[in-house]
Amino acid sequence: MPSGVITGVCVSLWIMSCVVTLTWAEDPNLTRALRLMSETPLIDGHNDLPWQMREQFNNQLNKVDLNTLTTTHTNIPKIKEGKLGAQFWSAYVRCESQYKDAVRQTLEQIDVIHRMCQKYPETFMFATSSQDLTTAFTQKKTASLIGVEGGHSIDSSLATLRMMYQLGVRYLTLTHSCNTPWADNWLVDTGSEPSEHNGLSPFGKQVVMEMNRLGMLIDLAHVSVKVMNQVLDISKAPVIFSHSSAYSICPHKRNVPDEVLRRVNKTQGIVMVNFYNDYVTCQKTAKLSDVADHFDHIKMVAGAGIIGFGGDYDGVSRLPEGLEDVSKVPHLVAELLRRGWTDDEVKAALGMNLLRVLQQAEKIRDSLKNTAADDVPIPSEEVKNPCRTRDGQASAGAVQTLSMLALMITLSVQALIQ
């Protein structure tokens, strides 16, 4: 290449870099946002990159380079640009796996999250506690936690729930878009599916209390409003909505109504705002400012202390203009500052709210450390299907009686403690 051409290319690149630098410098809110994100970890409640590893590569991570991957909303350069301090990676499998191989498939998704952390130790730190989140942030790594998205993944087994906790799972979304044998999902509220349990069955309440005992966060994204309220009634620990928005702004049944937002405030939980266009504007298109409207509404109704980020990247097909991938989140933070959010309010939404919720769940776990694991199984007729054997199952009547007795005793003890 002639020297004159080389010189011209260099000058052009220099001018472009100056334009980018000036653009960032001209936005004091973005500068302020980046400063706040360097002081407080951005903790995102839900990212489906592990599902993309399954769909695109059959979980063959040896065939993937997250430094150069271009077919997802999330890769390592985007994570770094987006200042992602901690991420709950979703271990999700389809509802059609229920009564079949949901547990195996979920274990494969848990495995792929572990292997992501092992393959990129300079970027990810596997995390299972609030202390781990803080440690990873000081090491400038993205703390990587696991959330299992859908109660069908435990196959109505408290033992499976406990083993998933041992593997690092720190939240369970009680349903996805299908009823389980013990909980109703959000489609019940649309009328497209019947209620099977009037919310939670007695075994569903056992699941909630066993999650409290373990210290596993209860995720109410994807459940019916009846389930939301029942869990808020009985859970000792604060709940999360890992990726849901405000129903009053977009009346989609996946979103959270105002009366529930207020209850989340009273119980010190968190609603982590989803970026999916259909939940943001109830239309196929949306803008970054529309997402900020959800943040504003939740703050107005229930305070900045219940708000978080739950982008749902790599789990949705449509994202707002300005939030096309993980790298763009600082611009949303800048928009909140532009709207008058204080530094403390922004820091709360970035990560302090989620840290508080996780710490409280750990505190409840520690207070229940002398409580025996619940080993009363779900009544066999409630999970009867051709793929399930009955070995070791007690008669339905005996199991139901024991289950209800254990539930009543536990609720009575909790009432006395409160």
pLDDT in tens, 127-174: 999 999 999 999 999 999 999 999 999 999 999 999 999 999 999 999
Weakest-pLDDT range from 26-30, 179-183, 188-192: 26-30
Nearest to 221 by CA among 143, 281, 140, 276: 276
Give the three-state DSSP class for 44. strand
List, for residues 68-122, the tens digit of each pLDDT value. Answer: 999 999 999 999 999 999 999 999 999 999 999 999 999 999 999 999 999 999 9
DSSP letters, 138-169, are: HTT-EEEEEEEE-GGGGTT-HHHHHHHHHTTE
Percent of the chain with pLDDT over 90: 85
Q: Enter the pTM of the model.
A: 0.89
Predicted confidence at residue 387, as pLDDT, reads 87
Residue type, 99: Y
**pLDDT beyond 80 at 319:** yes
In this model, does residue 8 exceed pLDDT 50?
A: no
- Binning pLDDT at 50, 70 and 90, where does residue 274 land? very high
**Does the pLDDT at position 261 exceed 50?**
yes
Strands 42-47 and 84-92: parallel
Res. 25 pLDDT band, cuts 50 70 90: low
At residue 112, the pLDDT reads 98
Residue with tokens 């509802």: 95
The more confidently predicted of residues 8 and 259 is: 259
Q: Which of 321, 256, 326, 325 is nearest to 286 (CA)?
A: 321
Q: Catalytic amino acids? A: 46, 48, 149, 176, 222, 243, 312
**pLDDT band for position 17 (50/70/90)?**
very low
